[in-house]
Amino acid sequence: MPDLRKDPITGRWVIISTDRAKRPNDFVRQRVEIKNKGICPFCPGNEEKTPTEILQYGRESGAANTPGWRVRVVANKFPALGIEGNLNRQAEGMFDKMNGIGAHEVIIETPDHNASLATLPPKRIEDVLWTFRDRILDLKKDRRFKYILIFKNHGEAAGASLEHAHSQLIALPIIPIYVTEELEGAKQFYIYKERCVFCDIIRQETETGIRVVAENEDFLTLAPYAPRFPFETWILPKQHESGFENSSSHMFENLAKAVKNLLTKADRVLDNPPYNLVIHSSPVQDPNNDHYHWHIEFMPKLTKTAGFEWGTGFYINPTPPEEAAKFLREASVEDTLPATVG
Ligand SMILES: [Zn+2]
Ligand SMILES: [Zn+2]
Ligand SMILES: [Zn+2]
């Protein structure tokens, strides 16, 4: 008999197959491979092919848009939203509209075309996390923006149009619906129990251990109780914190390790899968509260969303999180950790 499970934050129900659970080898998937075809606008030497850089780490001297950087942030060449102008909210009869104002930036994670976030040394992953923070702090000053989402599409099947390792940032004039669902659910839980639902999850999952994937001093990596997708995994700070950008340098160091650990394990178990990764943090105008707890959601692309999901908002997940967590927990990462950090 399959399980119907309810996510304690959003109240969303999922169907988990328990009988014929799919194991890693049962998924037909597109392995992410670097093909090196054509000219890559994100490679050093091609800086003039991107819009002017907004931020870079590594280049001590020399002009903007030249090589020598470790991480580089540029505006998206084909932005989903435009940065200039005002929102101009208006009605169209009973309908609402506003101008498509927002920021859309690309974080080029490494100059090395053949690297991936998983293969970068922890120090370099930390650089990427610091650019996220720097860009969030800068964009927060713009009062038009209500939410800043950082996300990553890895592999063509997960929506990446360029194979060179990169993440994206979108600043939005509205709070997105999925985040609103989490915020509202977390607030309801807090009103009822006077505790953060995420902190409660961390406490219980640490106690039972069956859905825990990994742990370090500051972060817990786990398979959620009611995951939408097979091998969906979250990384949460152990101490309550609502905004990603409030993290200390100590935390970024341990977050880089946690991210590397999870991505390496996923590459091992699922053979370099395409994936999406998102950072869910509190809205920019409410960065410190007791009910919301920032986190990373990692979703490997192993199944397709079809009619039933689109029609109901229910997801059918063929792999119980307890099994996914066990595969990831037991995957060794030791021999992939670099001996030296450059
Ligand atoms: Zn490249
Ligand atoms: Zn919390
Ligand atoms: Zn979330």
Residue 322: what are its φ and ψ, rounded to 5°?
-65, -40
List pLDDT tens digits, range 136-183.
999 999 999 999 999 999 999 999 999 999 999 999 999 999 999 999
- The stretch 30-35 carries a mean pLDDT of 90
The answer to whether residues 282 and 243 touch, using CB atoms and an 8 Å cutoff, is yes
> How many Å lie between the centroid of ligand 2 and the Cα of residue 197?
6
Cβ count within 10 A of residue 158: 18
> How many Å lie between the centroid of ligand 1 and the Cα of residue 112?
7
- SS3 assignment, position 153: strand
Mean of the per-residue pLDDT values of the chain: 94
The two tokens of residue 189 are 């839980």
> How many Å lie between the centroid of ligand 1 and the Cα of residue 105?
17
> How many Å lie between the centroid of ligand 2 and the Cα of residue 242?
7
More confident residue, 262 or 30: 262
> How many Å lie between the centroid of ligand 1 and the Cα of residue 41?
6
The set of residues, in sequence order, having a beta carbon less than 8 Å from that of 27 and lying 6+ positions away, is 230, 270, 302, 303
DSSP structural state of residue 78: S
Cβ count within 10 A of residue 258: 25
pLDDT of residue 341: 43
Closest CA to 107 of 137, 121, 127: 127
Q: Which region among 43-47, 61-65, 185-189 has the lowest average model confidence (pLDDT)?
A: 61-65
Residue 204: what are its φ and ψ, rounded to 5°?
-70, -40
Confidence of residue 313 (pLDDT cuts 50, 70, 90): confident
Decide if pLDDT at 337 tops 60: no
Helix H segments across the chain? 122-139, 177-193, 197-208, 249-270, 307-312, 321-330
Q: Crossing angle of helices 321-330/249-270, nearest 10°?
A: 100
- SS3 assignment, position 283: coil
pLDDT of residue 342: 39
Confidence of residue 305 (pLDDT cuts 50, 70, 90): confident
Q: Which region among 16-20, 101-105, 272-276, 322-326 has the lowest average model confidence (pLDDT)?
A: 16-20
> How many Å lie between the centroid of ligand 1 and the Cα of residue 339?
25
> How many Å lie between the centroid of ligand 1 and the Cα of residue 106?
13
Decide if pLDDT at 3 tops 90: yes
pLDDT of residue 267: 96
Residue 254: what are its φ and ψ, rounded to 5°?
-75, -30
Q: What is the pTM of this model?
A: 0.95
Residue 133: what are its φ and ψ, rounded to 5°?
-60, -45
User: In terms of residues, how long is the chain?
Assistant: 342
Ligand closest in space to the Cα of 197: 2
- The stretch 77-105 carries a mean pLDDT of 94
The set of residues, in sequence order, having a beta carbon less than 8 Å from that of 208 and lying 6+ positions away, is none
Confidence of residue 108 (pLDDT cuts 50, 70, 90): very high
Ligand closest in space to the Cα of 243: 2
Residue pointed to by tokens 């392995």: 31
Closest CA to 273 of 16, 20, 25: 25
Residue ranges with CB less than 5 Å from ion ligand 2? 196, 198-199, 240, 293
pLDDT of residue 20: 75
pLDDT of residue 30: 82
Give the pairing of strands 90-92 and 95-97: antiparallel
- The stretch 279-307 carries a mean pLDDT of 95
> How many Å lie between the centroid of ligand 2 and the Cα of residue 122?
25
- Residue 206 CA to residue 126 CA, distance in Å, equals 25
Ligand closest in space to the Cα of 44: 1
Catalytically annotated residue among 104, 154, 164, 166: 166
Using alpha carbons only, how large is the chain's radius of gyration in Å?
20
Ligand closest in space to the Cα of 237: 2
The set of residues, in sequence order, having a beta carbon less than 8 Å from that of 333 and lying 6+ positions away, is 261, 264, 265, 268
List pLDDT tens digits, range 236-260.
999 999 999 999 999 999 999 999 9
166 is catalytic: yes
Ligand closest in space to the Cα of 9: 3
Ligand closest in space to the Cα of 282: 3
Half-sphere exposure (CA, 13 Å, Cβ side) for 307?
Answer: 0
Share of the chain above pLDDT 90, in %: 86
Decide if pLDDT at 217 tops 50: yes
pLDDT of residue 335: 56
The two tokens of residue 221 are 């990596």
> How many Å lie between the centroid of ligand 3 and the Cα of residue 47?
34
> How many Å lie between the centroid of ligand 1 and the Cα of residue 113?
4
Burial 214-234 (b: 16+ CB within 10 A, else e): bbeebbbbbbbbbbbbbbbbb
> How many Å lie between the centroid of ligand 3 and the Cα of residue 280?
5
